[in-house]
Structure 1
């Protein structure tokens, strides 16, 4: 095959990839129009600093993403590992500073005690906040028998569930973009098709080195 023939074949696939990207953007726009379901029950978790509510897990930010990881007695790998799939998800999580810059917090939850969570996080180099469930949070949000990722938003002290992804859908998560695309507010960039009044800034303008957020935008040169 010549270089030109290879380039022609690539361009044919590229057109299909662009259609897929546009379809993915349209799907994310529909997620941003999902109804918000009020969370009426109070939930409590154990964390490194003691007991925490679901509202506390937001860490003061507007949005919260919660991944239910299976690390607990009875799960394959215990007590040295979380399950293989959940561990692969943890290995793919990007630097959380970028999510935080979009007013979004990501946490993991399991039923393992905090000392076990801290030990495995330290050994495997995981840095995401990881809490211990103490009630029926997993059953109430569809993650008692299988992993899954729930998105929440808060309005003051009121918490709402906005979306849920599980099974193979979790395989595509891990990057800043994939997590933001499942939230109610999205990437919060001007090109997005979002409801009137949603926060949006120019694309790229908010990007920064992960240790420079809060210090202003860098100057090119």
Structure 2
């Protein structure tokens, strides 16, 4: 019997073929079977991120310029002193549907999903959006929509040179002193998953920077969970909070013990 049969629904709803309604034990067995595939998917995703961290880099030799709230700045300035930079090309400019009251619907949905950037900043990573709309219009749009993402105006061929002149996309860059390298790019459905802190870090050359990751030798890594903080409490060069370290360590130990029991 389906859920629809159980409820006795009629009309259009009754045409929806819902899964079977089963007992608690049957449901848990089905969930455990699917969990095997989900874990395999997670391991495959981690392996893909590890391979991404080993991709070759492309040197960026043009000093691209952008307009910001305080005037003109260069590509190096977008890093805001950090080593990694993620640039999402959003469409908010004349000719885009919704202008000037709204940005593109899809780009707006991406902006709505972005987690607090302080967590990325804590991993030496800066996230910015870029569009061709003027700063005064961008400021009004951000205030209306409640977006705090740093957002800059394109002024040259950056969008054309990096494949985002006619469609949205996310470019990733790494800074070594004054040298800038392009390390990764995604668009289309690849952009659908973005917004989550972890997904952003997974497309960067340094990754999440946690000990469990498969990263090249010498890459920065710290214990899992220990660096996490409230978004208003990150302080540069501050050691992890002692109490949080104790809590996370205890949590990890309990998880390992429970996992060991399930394998018996």
TM-score range, shorter chain: over 0.9
Aligned counterparts, 1:197-216, within 5 A: 197-214=218-235, 216=239
Identify the match of residue 140 of structure 2 among 119, 127, 133: 119
Deviations 1:47-67 (A, max 9, x none): 001101000000000000000
Identify the match of residue 21 of structure 1 among 42, 45, 56: 42
> Could you list the runs of 5+ residues in structure 2 that have no partner in the other structure?
1-21, 248-264
Identify the match of residue 162 of structure 1 among 153, 172, 183: 183
Deviations 1:86-137 (A, max 9, x none): 0000000000100000000000000000000000000110001000000010
| SS class of match (2:73) | strand
Q: Which has the higher contact order (CA 8 A, sep 6+)?
A: 1
- C-alpha distance in 1 between matches for 2:105 and 2:242: 43
Q: Which residue of 2 aligns with 1:195?
A: 216
Deviation at 1:42, TM superposition (A): 1.3
- C-alpha distance in 2 between matches for 1:213 and 1:20: 32
- C-alpha distance in 1 between matches for 2:145 and 2:242: 36
Deviation at 1:41, TM superposition (A): 1.0
Is 1:64 the equivalent of 2:85?
Answer: yes
Q: Which residue of 2 aligns with 1:10?
A: 31
Over aligned residue pairs, what C-alpha RMSD do you find?
0.9
| SS class of match (2:225) | coil
TM-score normalised to structure 1 length: 0.98
Is 1:36 the equivalent of 2:60?
Answer: no
> Whose Rg is larger?
2
- C-alpha distance in 1 between matches for 2:64 and 2:119: 27
Is 1:88 the equivalent of 2:115?
Answer: no
| SS class of match (2:224) | coil
- C-alpha distance in 1 between matches for 2:234 and 2:130: 26
TM-score normalised to structure 2 length: 0.82
- C-alpha distance in 1 between matches for 2:182 and 2:170: 11
Is 1:182 the equivalent of 2:239?
Answer: no
- C-alpha distance in 2 between matches for 1:90 and 1:122: 13
Identify the match of residue 48 of structure 1 among 69, 74, 87: 69
| SS class of match (1:116) | helix
Deviation at 1:36, TM superposition (A): 1.0
Deviation at 1:219, TM superposition (A): 4.0
- C-alpha distance in 1 between matches for 2:78 and 2:55: 22
> Could you list the runs of 5+ residues in structure 1 that have no partner in the other structure?
none
How many residue pairs get aligned? The number is 221
- C-alpha distance in 2 between matches for 1:187 and 1:22: 15
